[in-house]
Amino acid sequence: MIQLFSVPADPSLLTYGAYEPRFVLLSVLIAIFSSWMGLQIAGQAAASRTHRAIVLGSGSLALGAGVWAMHFIGMLAFNLCTQINYDPSITILSALPSVGASAVALSLISRQRLGPAGLLVGGVLVGAGIGAMHYSGMAGMQMSLQLRYDPAMFALSIVVAVVLATLALWVRFGLSRLKSLSESRRLLLAATVMGCAIAGMHYTGMAAARFVGQVEPGGTGSSNSDFLALAITLITVVFTGLVLAANGLLRYRQMFLELRRSEAWMRALLTTTVDGVITIARDGTVTEFNASAERIFGWNRNEIVGRSASLLIADDDAASHDGLLGLMLDGYSSAMASSSEIMGKRKDGSLVPIRRAIGHARLDQQDLFVCFITDISERRAIMQALHASEQQFRSLIGNIPGISFRSTVDGDWPMVFISDAVERITGYPPADFMGESPRRPFGTLMHAADRVRVNEELAAALSEERPYLVEYRLLHRDGSVRWLWENGSGVRDDDGKVTWLDGVILDITERREMEDAL
């Protein structure tokens, strides 16, 4: 081992070689190409751990084979003017450190973030792996010259390998912050830096080599270097392409499975949703019709698909303009995205009130309109019943000879509700007494001489949780005094606290005047 670093002091005992420029350029291009392929594969998203392992493993093989090919072509580029053979076992085994270093590099690159410590450790591992590949590959050289290494240059080559590996990793993560560059350009730039770094490690290692001995005058290098370089290049490109194709098939399989899962989820959603979902083509034909739409319109999916959506809409002009017919005649507008209520038509010709909203999508240069339909017949029936009930209540309240009211217990009885009869009895409209801060609180109209007595009787009734009955005088708008009879009770919440008063007020002025006259 120590003998490997024993270099003769006499330079005349050393043989110096020269590089073939075209082979050097080819080796650099191979390194860049392999780096680009490796980064391309590592950048694929993996949905499962197994798929991720396959992606990184195949990417490591592609990049590792490319790094090894770059090293071997770089060796062929160095001409010592003597016959050089390579031990098959050692040469093939030298690819293992390259694959290991590539696995470490791609594993780090596939992460979202990488801190300084991880960057340094990754640089050391990758640099050491490529250095091990380089020097184990050179150990497979069989020639008449003896291979030695300059200790200083050997150490420098290791340092350079680590520094360049760290730089390549840093550039890959640093470029992700440059949003001005497209992803393809960032990938190409990162691959160029990594490929040049790999080539730099190799040629720095070659600079540490010393070849002891003399070659025969007129000797030449290997005569089949061109063939070997071309063969290795083609094999590397084909192998890397096959790896990329295999990963592409895996990626497409993953996308296909995701598409099937998404489609199954969407179909389950459309099947179970309570709203009708109808898809309509640009020409107005129905292309999809879910189970809820079948229930609303009475059509079976197989019966309506391929037929005109106008069969689902009432024939009157208003519905035609605002509904699906407007969609077919005028095209989609953003206003259609907002829901509106129209009349739909069932298969048997009966009408059904519906609320519809329309969304628009463009797939394969074709317009698709998705209509969400809600049957509002039950809600409309409830609203009509409520309206009828309200009308009955208003009629009942309006026919009561006195005032019906609901007020809070704060201050001078601000009204929550008061009937229209209040204007006949007080001279003021109902709006004057309504709200938290009414324009005219009802209690302020009470005669000052009666106010204390009424409040005391009301407080006693509420404390005893019984209805109250009081008579008092009220100042009319015209200045006259009216006698009122009021009967009411407190309404309590779940905690037993009085929240408001409900009651009836009658005008008993005539009765009091008759009593006074007697």
- Asked which of 325, 342, 376 is the last residue of a domain, the reply is 376
If asked whether residues 92 and 240 sit together in one domain, one would say yes
Same domain? For 109 and 135 the reply is: yes
| CATH at 346 | 3.30.450.20
Range of the domain at 319: 273-376
What's the confidence (pLDDT) of residue 209? Answer: 83
Is 80 exceeded by the pLDDT of residue 391?
Answer: no
Is 68 in the same domain as 167?
yes
pLDDT at 1 > cutoff 70: no
Does residue 213 share a domain with residue 90? yes
Q: In terms of C-beta density within 10 A (0-12 exposed, 13-18 middle, 19 or more buried), how is residue 269 classed?
A: exposed
pLDDT value, residue 318: 46
- Looking at the structure of the chain, the number of domains it has is 3
Please answer whether residues 352 and 343 qualify as being in contact, where contact means their C-beta atoms are separated by less than 8 angstroms. Answer: yes
Same domain, 368 and 412: no
- Which residue blocks in 176-224 are alpha helix, DSSP H? 183-207
What whole-number distance in Å separates Cα of residue 205 and Cα of residue 138? 10
Buried b (16+ CB within 10 A) or exposed e, 166-189: bbbbbbbbebeeeeeeeeeebbbe
pLDDT at site 321: 47
Q: Judge whether 196 and 28 are in contact, CB under 8 Å.
A: yes
Average confidence (pLDDT) over 431-450: 88
Query: Does 43 share its domain with 87?
Result: yes
- Whether the pTM exceeds 0.85: the reply is no
Give 415's strand partners: 407, 434
Residues 107 and 238 grouped into a single domain:
yes
Q: Does residue 387 belong to any structural domain of this protein?
A: no
What confidence tier does 317 reach under pLDDT thresholds 50, 70, 90? Answer: very low
Answer yes or no: do 222 and 89 share one domain: yes
295 and 336 in a single domain? The answer is yes
Say which residue the tokens 């303009």 belong to. 321
Q: Is the pLDDT of residue 289 over 70?
A: yes
Distance CA 421, CA 212 (A): 123
Is 227 a residue whose pLDDT tops 80? no
Indicate if 280 and 250 belong to the same structural domain.
Answer: no
pLDDT tens track for 185-223: 877 887 888 888 888 888 888 888 888 877 766 555 554
Interval 163-169 mean pLDDT = 79
262 domain residue, yes or no: no
93-127 confidence digits (pLDDT tens): 888 888 888 888 777 777 767 777 877 888 888 88
